[in-house]
Amino acid sequence: MSGTMVEINRSLLRPVLVAGVEKQLMVLNALICFPFIAVTHLQLPACLFGVGLFMMLHIVLRQVSKNDPHLGQLLKRARRFYMQSYYPAISHPRHVAQLIKTV
């Protein structure tokens, strides 16, 4: 085998996690839970509900991120094909771009 060996640092391949959860899923969790606290002007039951919901979702998302740390990116890509009933057999990028413009 010819060529030069190049070392790649492991930190370049490691996913970006915030408190053990993928960054996009963490932001989504915060956007779901913190309005319960802010909108109710810090009333105790709503604050406890918002913090409790945040903690429960965070624990679930952390367990999911341990199994697949790229789940958020996968769901983002899969969202394009969610409501599509027909998947055409097109492989050239130009044809795919034309197909997306027509839809």
Would you state the structure tokens that stand for residue 67, as one six-digit string?
A: 């199994």
**CB burial class (10 A; 0-12, 13-18, 19+) of residue 49?**
middle
Cβ–Cβ < 8 Å for 25, 58: no
> Which pTM value belongs to this model?
0.67
Q: How far apart are CA 30 and CA 33, in angstroms?
A: 5
Which residues, 6 or more positions from 68, have their beta carbon under 8 angstroms from its beta carbon? 74
Give domain limits for the chain.
Answer: 9-73
Mean pLDDT across 3-11: 86
Beta-carbon neighbour count of residue 82 at 10 Å? 7
List pLDDT tens digits, range 55-90. Answer: 999 999 999 999 988 888 888 888 877 777 766 676
Structure confidence at residue 88 (pLDDT): 65
